[in-house]
Structure 1
Amino acid sequence: MCAWNPLVSGGDYLAEATNLKEFEESERNKLSSKEAVMDRQDVGNREAGRIGPITESLRWAVALVTLWALVLAPLAQAARTQLKPGWNMFSTQQDVEVGQQVSKEAEKELRMLNDRRVDNYVNNLGRQLAAKAPGEKYPYQFKVVNDRGINAFALPGGPVYINRGVIEAADNEAQLAGVIAHEISHVALRHGTNQASKASAAQMPLAILGGLLGSNSVGATLAQLGASFAVNSILLKYSRTAETQADIMGTQILYDSGYDARAMAQFFEKIQAQDQGGQPVEFFSNHPNPGNRIQRVGEELDNLGGARRSYNTDSRDFDQIKRTVQSLPAPPSKGQPLQADSGRNDGGRQGSQPEWPSDRFVSVQNALLSINHPDNWQAYGQADAMTIAPRGGMVDDGNGNQALAYGVIVNIYEPLDSYGQQLQGPGYGQGPGQGSRQDSRALLVQATNQLVQELRLSNRNMRVVRSGEDISVNGSNALSTYLSNDSPLGGRETNWLVTVQRPDGLLFLVFTAPDRDFQSYENVFRQMLYSVRINR
């Protein structure tokens, strides 16, 4: 996986700021040379009764205003965090094409609100904010989904969808604008096709513990990307780095649009408290909380010159639209139109049983490691990510996506600090004998805990059963963690997570089977783990 530093400070005005004293002296000399002339003019003006005396303090006030306009104001502008899109195999025009194709599929599955007043208001607000977004000027469109879940998402190239639940939950227009600005930032920073590019390059099925797998690869063509709205598991699964970037750029967009730039973080903190209070919020299923949102937004606000003396928070239009949305009939339950299909899928899944693992093992290798697996199992993907499963080990999750019920996931995870930078420290990623063993283990524990937290964001019923057990994998220190999660077959499953620190991140393997079968598969899983040879 690519490691990229998204936070690059901009501007050359700091050098100018160091010369403020020289600038001030120059201005003082200019004023002094003109002072005698101005005084003589003042005397003449007083005698003629045209104007009172121009005092020295007034002249200094004018000079200070000039000083601010010429030097300090550009300095505040230059201090804003500069963000650039990451690596991408698609052009910006292809971003637009991807978004248009996928949005057609999306609107076949989503229940759109289709209220002209609400749609016009949200679209106008969104376009006003998008005008302040840096970089490529995409053809943004903003639409409202008839869903009371608190969620929003953006597709590459401009389509942005806001659930009615966001409007109902927002306290004011600035908070709604904050959510929209956050989604605009995902588009401007090309996070969707950046994710698809990395996944496509790895040729992997996207698999996270019984979550959406998608197909064996993202596909190399736009037609494959736009073939199904299920592709949102690729385009909309953002990392904490992407969330931090969207928070920062969203703050800049709000500030430049005249809104209270703190409103976005305040709204996210509000719904985070709701989520932690036992009312799950859909937004966090594909927008992981990067942590310290209020603090980071405050820092960016300082970079921008501090809070404005006056800013927009609310509007009469927002109050009217919110009342309109609240008065509309409740949306139909998600399960109602899908119940019949869901039942058929469930019946098929309950009866599925994979082929028992063979006693003969074969080896497979990718960029991270080599590992042996039963010869009647199949490996999907190469590069950094790989899924190994028996025939019948991947099942339909009821939504048209494949989910892993039996098998192994191999991948690399990039632990991050609160600023979205790759987490590193003493001994991290070093070979035997380098760095402190104690420091190395502490960082391994920290990175593993962060990975578990991120997995739980998309697997809400996942629980840690046993953690922090030291083991060895190919001579490297590793941690063993047992998790319990919902199985796509129904009931519960066991996920055995093994993590190993590497120079480029955290190597992890997840061995998965339903609780009723895990003990039978555990010996096979251990043989696979013992066979691992990590590429040095």
Structure 2
Amino acid sequence: MSNWFSNSFRQWRRRWAYALISLLVASGLILTTPQPGQAVSIFDLILRGVQIIQLSTLSDRQEVALGRQINDQLVSRELNLNSDRNVNNYINAIGQRLVPYSDRSDIPYTFQVVEDSKINAFATMGGYVYVTTGLIRAADNEAQLASVISHEIGHIASQHAIEQMRESALAQGLVSAAGLDRNTAVNLGVELALRRPNSRRDEFEADQRGLTTLTAAGYAPGAMVDFMRKLQNQPSVPAFLSTHPAVSDRIRALSQTIDPATANSGDGLDTASYRAQISSIR
């Protein structure tokens, strides 16, 4: 009888110890978070604790994992990826050539081709870059295409997607005292990737970072301006150039940075070679 009582007491004590630890962990999340938000039940936090993330202290590993989840949802529900192995290998080779010269080369990057006639490119957090077949066809040479990819790498290097997610979550009241629910973060990341609401400051910053990366990788820097001018003269400005600031302002800022004497010095200006590489895209 005494053994039964002793075992029962130990089990009861263990259950309460686990409950107390859970309460302390959840309380710590509330007390240590620097982000204001809506009140949330402490028991709800215990139940959902593994799903809560803090955007203000997101590590590289966590960002890559979140970006992977966003990408999984994008490619399964929103995007039709091109299946041509040669084209995908070519685009990936361009992207991987640029990565070592970016300000953020210590995370893995994934470059994907989206089957879409619209001229577009975008990126999400964690190193995921998307380029449409329409944009690939619109470019005159590899350097022009590389300029777009380097711009998107610039967004990732500046962690603009995380900033946008934080601002949007706060504006929509989605952030609790503990942080942002991971599932909510993934859905928000998909929305932001497709809607591309980059600010004037973000676009200028991605342009400058992209230009530095493009040049350091050995491509002709003038290709970035050439491609923008080409797209600016089309009947309708492509979606990825239609956000603030105006294309003319971006061209002016880039032109002031590029030395005219070396604008066309570098790789990627051979149009015939480029057309041969992308010939399977219709």
TM-score (norm 2): 0.71
Q: Distance in 2 between matches of 1:233 and 1:134?
A: 21
Name the aligned partner's letter for residue 266 of structure 2: Y
Tell me how far apart the structure 1 counterparts of residues 258 and 122 of structure 2 sit (CA, whole Å).
25
Distance of 2:196 and 2:65 partners within structure 1: 16
2:61 aligns with 93
Q: Is the 8 A contact 2:122 2:193 kept in 1?
A: no
Matching of residue 145 in structure 1 with residue 114 in structure 2 = yes
Which one of 206, 210, 223 corresponds to residue 246 of structure 1?
206
Q: Partner residue of 1:189? A: 158
1:325 matched to 2:274? The reply is no
Q: Could you tell me which of 220, 235, 241 is aligned with 1:284?
A: 241
- Shift in alpha-carbon separation, 1:105–1:141, aligned structure 2, 3 A: same
Q: How does 1:161-180 map to 2 (within 5 A)?
A: 161-180=130-149
Aligned partners of 2:222 and 2:265: how far apart in 1? 13
The CA distance in 2 between the partners of 1:294 and 1:117, in whole Å, is: 32
- Paired residues in the alignment total 223
Counterparts of 1:235 and 1:147, CA distance in 2? 16
Q: Tell me if structure 1 keeps the 8 A contact 2:232–2:247.
A: no
Q: Aligned partner of 1:323: which letter? A: S
Alignment RMSD, CA only? 2.6
Deviates more, 1:152-161 or 1:218-227: 218-227
Residue 221 of structure 1 is matched in structure 2 by: 181
- Alpha carbons 2:70, 2:190 under 8 Å: kept: no
Aligned to 1:118, which of 83, 87, 92? Answer: 87
Matched, 1:298 2:266: no
Task: Look up the match of 2:219.
Answer: 259
Q: Which residue does the alignment assign to 1:132?
A: 101
Distance 1:291 1:152 in 2: 19
Note if contact 1:95-1:156 (Cα within 8 Å) is conserved in structure 2. yes
Partner secondary structure for residue 281 of structure 2 = helix
User: How far apart are residue 306 of structure 1 and its match?
Assistant: 6.0
For 1:224 and 1:187, the matched residues in 2 are separated by 21
Amino acid at match of 1:251: L
Equivalent position to 1:158, from 127, 137, 144: 127
**Corresponding residue of 2:43:** none
The percentage of counterpart residues that share the same residue type is: 34
CA contact (8 A) 1:240 1:290 kept: no
Q: Conserved in 2, the CA contact under 8 Å of 1:260 and 1:313?
A: yes
Is the 8 Å Cα contact of residues 262 and 294 (structure 1) preserved in structure 2? Answer: no
Flag the structure with larger Rg: 1
Q: Superposed, which structure 2 residues align to 1:253-402 within 5 Å?
A: 253-274=213-234, 277=235, 279-285=236-242, 288-289=245-246, 291-302=248-259, 307=262, 310-315=265-270, 317-326=273-282
In 2, Cα distance between equivalents of 1:100 and 1:148 = 25
| Structure 1 stretches of at least 4 aligned residues deviating more than 4 Å after TM superposition | 285-288
Cα–Cα, structure 1 residues 100 and 132, in superposed 2: closer, same or farther, change >3 Å? same
CA distance 1:272–1:172, change in 2 (3 Å): same
Task: Report if the CA contact (8 A) 2:82-2:114 is conserved.
Answer: yes
Structure 1 gaps of 5+ residues are: 1-86, 206-215, 327-536
Partners in 2 of 1:183 and 1:135 — Cα distance? Answer: 12
State how far apart, in whole Å, the 1-side matches of 2:243 and 2:123 are: 11
Residue 83 of structure 2 aligns to a residue in which SS?
coil
- Quick check: 2:165–2:188 contact (8 Å CA) kept in 1? no
Shift of residue 258 of structure 1? 1.1
Q: 1:169 to 1:235 in 2, by over 3 A?
A: closer
Match of 1:204 among 144, 168, 171: 171
Q: Hey, what's the Cα distance between the residues in 2 that align with 1:319 and 1:240?
A: 33
2:75 and 2:81 in contact (8 A); partners too: yes
Q: Secondary structure of the equivalent of 2:258?
A: helix
Q: Partners in 2 of 1:187 and 1:280 — Cα distance? A: 23
Structure 1 contact 238–288 (Cα < 8 Å) conserved: no
> When you count helix as a share of all residues, which structure comes out higher?
2
Gap change, CA 1:237 and 1:308, over 3 Å in 2: closer
Following superposition, the deviation at residue 289 of structure 1 comes to: 3.2
Change in Cα spacing, 1:265 to 1:287, as seen in structure 2 (3 Å) is farther
Quick check: 2:124–2:193 contact (8 Å CA) kept in 1? no
Deviation (angstroms), 1:282: 2.3
Whole-angstrom CA distance in 2 between matches of 1:125 and 1:234: 23
- Distance between the aligned counterparts of 1:91 and 1:289, measured in 2? 33
Q: Which amino acid aligns with 1:102?
A: I
Counterparts of 1:289 and 1:92, CA distance in 2: 32
Name whichever structure is richer in strand by fraction. Answer: 1
Q: Is the 8 A contact 1:170 1:267 kept in 2?
A: yes
From the superposition, tell whether residues 228 and 197 of structure 1 become closer, same or farther in structure 2 (CA, over 3 Å). Answer: closer
